[in-house]
């Protein structure tokens, strides 16, 4: 069985708390999505500048999606907007209900997992996306080795 076949399109539902994510970001589209790993490299080199980090997770936040383009921040949780150093970008994510999907296999295949969620699960789920979604990487995540846990958190509410 290939890694993608393992993806369960039956998410667990979670009530997510409000988050403030601080990190580095940029605007991406189909032609530039391949540049996101370089953003993570930049983030890894400057993460020490974020002193008030909460927990050990890292986040890849997608927001402001328009016309196949989106903003993306590679970051970590901080206690409050006032804890974001001036040389970093940030986003405040409100508390919400999430459909949470595990990602199996190499991080390079994350795009395929997203596509399955958006094009296979979402249309027949009875839900709509209502805000920024994010990838959550475990503290022990290692992109080179493909070890650790990656989850896609999709903010949802029932369609009217």
- CATH no. for residue 140? 3.20.80.10
pLDDT at 99: 97
Q: Count how many domains the chain has.
A: 1
User: Which residues, in sequence order, are CB contacts of 110 under 8 Å at separation 6+?
Assistant: 103, 135, 150, 152
Q: Show the domain range for 120.
A: 14-158
| pLDDT value, residue 2 | 44
Which pLDDT belongs to residue 148? 82
What is the reported pLDDT for 8? Answer: 57
Residue 1 has what pLDDT?
Answer: 39
CA–CA dist 131, 155 (Å, integer): 6
Ranges in the chain, pLDDT < 70:
1-8, 146
Asked whether residue 28 is domain-assigned, the answer is yes
Residue 45 lies in a domain: yes
Please give the mean pLDDT across all residues of the chain: 89
Asked if the structure places residue 1 within a domain, the reply is no
Share of the chain above pLDDT 90, in %: 66
Three-state DSSP state, 123: helix
Contact 78, 22 (CB under 8 A): yes
Q: Within a domain: residue 9?
A: no
* Residue 7 included in any domain: no
Report pLDDT for 52.
Answer: 93
Q: Is 6 part of a structural domain of the chain? A: no
Over the stretch 101-129, which tens digit does the pLDDT of each residue have? 998 878 888 888 988 999 999 999 999 99
**3 falls within a domain:** no
């Amino acid at each position: 069985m290939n890694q993608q076949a393992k993806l369960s399109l039956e998410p667990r539902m979670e009530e997510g708390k409000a988050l403030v994510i601080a990190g580095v970001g940029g605007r991406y589209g189909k032609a530039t999505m391949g540049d996101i790993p370089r953003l993570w490299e930049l983030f890894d080199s400057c993460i020490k500048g974020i002193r008030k980090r909460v927990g050990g997770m890292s986040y890849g936040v997608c927001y402001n999606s328009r016309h196949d383009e989106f903003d993306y921040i590679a970051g970590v949780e901080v206690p409050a907007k006032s804890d974001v150093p001036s040389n970093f970008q940030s986003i405040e994510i409100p508390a919400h209900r999430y459909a949470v999907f595990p990602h199996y296999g190499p991080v390079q295949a994350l795009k395929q997992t997203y596509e399955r969620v958006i094009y296979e699960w979402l249309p027949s789920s009875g839900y709509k996306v209502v805000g920024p979604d994010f990838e959550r990487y475990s503290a022990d995540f290692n992109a080179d080795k493909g070890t650790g846990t990656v989850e896609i958190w999709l903010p949802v509410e029932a369609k009217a």
